Structure 1
Amino acid sequence: MASSRLVLCLIFISLQAAGGYLYYFVNNCNFNSSQLDDIEYIESYHCNKVELLSFSSKMGHFVGYTEFGIYQAEYFNNQSDILNSRRQQKEAFCQHNINIFTKAILDKSVEPNVTLWAVTLPDGRHPNMLVCSVYDFYPPQISVNWFRDGHKVTADVTSTDELPDADWYYQIESRLEYTPRSGETISCVVEHISLKQPLVITWDPSMPESERNKIVIGASGLILGLTLSLAGFIYYKKKAGGRTLVPTDIS
């Protein structure tokens, strides 16, 4: 699993308005898990855009990067109480907040929605292309594969990266160019942490999507026409039933 980076910032700022100097320090926690061995605590001090010195729990002491930073690092490294307090921050500061962060965000997951559809390519190289669109899932790590008659397909497959939707969800699209064979089965298989088992979407070539849409639209129009006709007939019967017929003498 890729490394996670959680920046828990406690920023202390000292600003001298006349000279425009900005002095601050930032606490960072880098981690792969909530285990202490997978956590690094970093405390860095800056003036304007220059890093002066930093402390890393991996090294266990301060390191200076400028003349003033080196002087400060030597001073802090000779103060046992300062060193001990910084060494304890990996557990007191990082591990505590990582557990909260993990439960609130990293452990959450949302099942993906999947749509499988076909397009016809104009260049004639492949008569058809299947597109597997996967969207509205979290976290972004996901696997999308194609299977043809039970065998994984790797040739003529192109996929996008996991793209953010700007609403905490992600989307990805995979395409398969293929020449249809009679009786074959083609499936898009999606694996995600939110799923108890892989999600298998099998392509049904019995009727193109455009034709299915035409049938749905035609059926809807037919039902609407019958409904309006029935309503008109009922209205006519009610009006005819309320009339009084007057005999006319034509002799």
Structure 2
Amino acid sequence: MGLSFLCKLAVCAVLFCSAPAGGYVYQMISDCEYGDNITDTVYFVKNIFNQKLNNIYDSRLGKYIGFGELGMKNAAHYNNQSWKMQARKVEVDTLRRYNVRLFRKSILDRKVPPNVKVHQTKPADYGERSMLVCSVWGFYPQEVRVSWLRDGEEVTTDVFSSDVLANGDWSFQFHTYLELTLKRGERVTCRVDHSSLQESLEVEWDTFALDVKHATIAVGIVFFFAGLAVAAVGALYYWWKKQRFHANRL
């Protein structure tokens, strides 16, 4: 049937223990398997005794199959119980019609767009070697494509990337690094393609802090020389006044 996904639904375990040590454990586990076409759902009910499979109901066969002497005896007994067989058929229809569709909609077809941030790993100035990191997180499903652009052109050299990592909350994260020499005026962009996005998401590295730093330095230099000029004019004016005062006295 080419099943592409295993889904554990409506799991029920019943335990019977005679003592903490040397006891007996009985489990009944219900699960299903289905592919892209949910009408091909296969439903199983497994009866397990002391970690050994005793018998199993297979919806493809419409009956129980036993393993071992006791398992075959139990399977034959279950197959002769019309109410139990009817219950299994109802469960198959219920799983296919409701549970599987709900599971597919809430999990398999779920799409969450990523958050993206671009920043330096450590401070560096224009003309210096630096490394930028593009962090992509909180997205689902797992498949994502992240690339670097410099002035609109994709670059693949000096690029290092992590694996796609699970966050443990049905979302994922991914980090990619670009090593480069910082250039004033160059646009460095992280582009993210994900099934949750209508189009590529591009986040440009914000050089504001670096530009403000240089602007502050430039303004400081201007004020420094302006101060020197004012001081020089003041000194010259003082010297001129002093010379004029001495000339008047003579």
What's the TM-score once normalised by structure 1's chain length? 0.63
The counterpart of 2:115, out of the listed 103, 113, 116, is: 113
**Contact residue 34 and residue 98 of structure 1 kept, 8 A:** no
SS of alignment partner, residue 14 of structure 2:
strand
Q: Distance in 1 between matches of 2:215 and 2:71?
A: 73
**Contact residue 36 and residue 90 of structure 1 kept, 8 A:** no
Query: Does residue 138 of structure 1 match 2:136?
Result: no
SS of alignment partner, residue 176 of structure 1:
strand
Aligned match of 1:30: 33
Tell me the amino acid that sits aligned with residue 139 of structure 2.
Answer: F
Q: Distance in 1 between matches of 2:73 and 2:216?
A: 79
Structure 1 residue 112: Cα displacement: 1.5
Aligned match of 2:14: 13
Q: Distance in 1 between matches of 2:70 and 2:131?
A: 64
The counterpart of 1:57, out of the listed 56, 59, 71, is: 59
Change (3 A) 1:151 1:5: farther
- CA RMSD after TM alignment: 4.1
Q: Radius of gyration: which is bigger?
A: 2
The counterpart of 1:189, out of the listed 187, 191, 195, is: 191
Q: Distance in 2 between matches of 1:43 and 1:141?
A: 33
Aligned match of 1:244: none
Query: Does residue 42 of structure 1 match 2:44?
Result: yes
Q: Distance in 2 between matches of 1:213 and 1:85?
A: 72
Q: Distance in 1 between matches of 2:83 and 2:215?
A: 76
Change (3 A) 1:48 1:183: same
Q: Distance in 1 between matches of 2:173 and 2:212?
A: 25
Aligned match of 1:71: 73
Structure 1 residues 190-223: Cα deviation after superposition (integer angstroms, max 9, x where no partner)? 122322211012346xx485x36868999xxxxx
**Contact residue 38 and residue 96 of structure 2 kept, 8 A:** no
**Contact residue 27 and residue 49 of structure 2 kept, 8 A:** yes
Structure 1 residue 79: Cα displacement: 6.7
Change (3 A) 1:118 1:169: same
**Contact residue 41 and residue 94 of structure 1 kept, 8 A:** no
What's the TM-score once normalised by structure 2's chain length? 0.63
Structure 1 residue runs of 4+, over 6 Å off?
78-81, 180-184, 215-218
Aligned match of 1:241: none
Unaligned 5+ runs, structure 1: 219-251
Number of positions where the alignment pairs a residue of Structure 1 with one of Structure 2 = 210
The counterpart of 1:161, out of the listed 154, 160, 163, is: 163
Change (3 A) 1:114 1:79: same
Structure 1 residue 166: Cα displacement: 4.1
Change (3 A) 1:24 1:195: same
Aligned match of 1:175: 177
Aligned match of 1:225: none
Tell me the amino acid that sits aligned with residue 36 of structure 1.
Answer: T
**Contact residue 133 and residue 172 of structure 1 kept, 8 A:** yes
Structure 1 residues 3-59: Cα deviation after superposition (integer angstroms, max 9, x where no partner)? 44431134252514256212121111223446212x222211111322222233345
Unaligned 5+ runs, structure 2: 218-250
